[in-house]
Amino acid sequence: MQPIDRIRVGNTLGECVLWDDAEAALWWTDIDGRMLFRFDWSTGTIRRTATPERLASFGFIAGQTEFVAAFDCGFALFNPDTGQCSPPITPPGLKRGMRMNDGRVDRQGRFWSGAMVMNPAEPPLAQLYAIQGGVLRSHLEGLAISNGICWSPDSRYFYFADSRRGLIWRYAFDAVEGMLGQREVFARVDGAEPDGACMDSDGCLWSAHWGGSRVVRYSPDGRVDQVLEVPVRQPSCVAFGGPNLDVLLVTSARLGLMDPETGAGDVLVYNVKAQGLPESRFRIDSWPGIQGDEAWRAAMART
């Protein structure tokens, strides 16, 4: 299947693509390019905002224009209009040679993001974190590359990939408490690494396969339902967007390619005859120490 459109940006490492239904805009980050992108769906214009560090992932905040963000060294509140950033919160266990990676807001307003170990020769000691109820909590340890964070439509299951291991796991999820339960292998990926993922309204998981030139749709029982071949080797993340959430957006990367193919690093647009789910928004009262407008302004003040 050929893309119906292409947003030509040539990102070094395009990631964390999210559709903002409130503004009818598409957002994503070029991690290694240290740039946040906003694509206006109606006008086709692109706005670029430089980030103070590599921005690995982010989420929208309910009632705010700011984002909750996972930078190289930890979590912060980030204003995409001004580039203003609150002092970062470095999570325990995030050591030299690691950085934050994939993240997403759950339907209860918590922000989840996991770390990655940069050197494949180093032991897998990264962790998965969540900001919930005013605290930063670690939920998983012993990870290589945290990726593919999403939830089933009914929030009964949490999906998570460790890219370097080629595994997508499914956890029982307590949506009220925000806790992970029993784990099972949802899918094994051969010849590629499972990267960013999203869920559609039918409960099927769409996973970008880094190094495999494909995006795969898995049925709720983990079977391969559809394989979307893409014209780039390193598709990195996926999201549903457009006014009806009925187009699939695929970020990609030029990182590490000796001879980058035409279009590497662009955002690809597909009509896949499926519909996505709206992105959830972070509850600002979950941020550690936030209590009212004055605390919010203090948290956003640069040090």
Q: Which long-range contacts (CB under 8 A, 24 or more apart) does 45-50 make?
A: 46/7, 46/9, 49/80, 49/81, 49/83, 50/83
Query: How crowded is residue 184: how many other Cβ atoms within 10 Å of its Cβ?
Result: 10
- Identify the sign of the CA torsion 206, 149, 68, 108: positive
**What one-letter code names the amino acid at 6?**
R
Rounded to 5°, angle at Cα 279 from 57 and 290? 65
Asked if residue 19 lies in contact with residue 26, where contact means CB atoms within 8 angstroms, the answer is yes
Q: Name residue, tokens 């999201």.
A: 239
Q: Which residue in the list 72, 102, 195, 200 is annotated as catalytic? A: 195
Q: Which two tokens stand for residue 271?
A: 């009509």
Q: What are the two backbone dihedrals, phi and then psi, of residue 216, each rounded to the nearest 5 degrees?
A: -115, 135
Q: Which two tokens stand for residue 84?
A: 């203003």
- Clarify whether 21 is annotated catalytic: no
Pick from 180, 77, 205, 185: which is nearest to 129 by CA? 180
Asked if residue 17 lies in contact with residue 7, where contact means CB atoms within 8 angstroms, the answer is no
Q: How far apart are CA 270 and CA 201, in angstroms?
A: 17
Report DSSP state, residue 285: G
Q: List active site positions.
A: 195
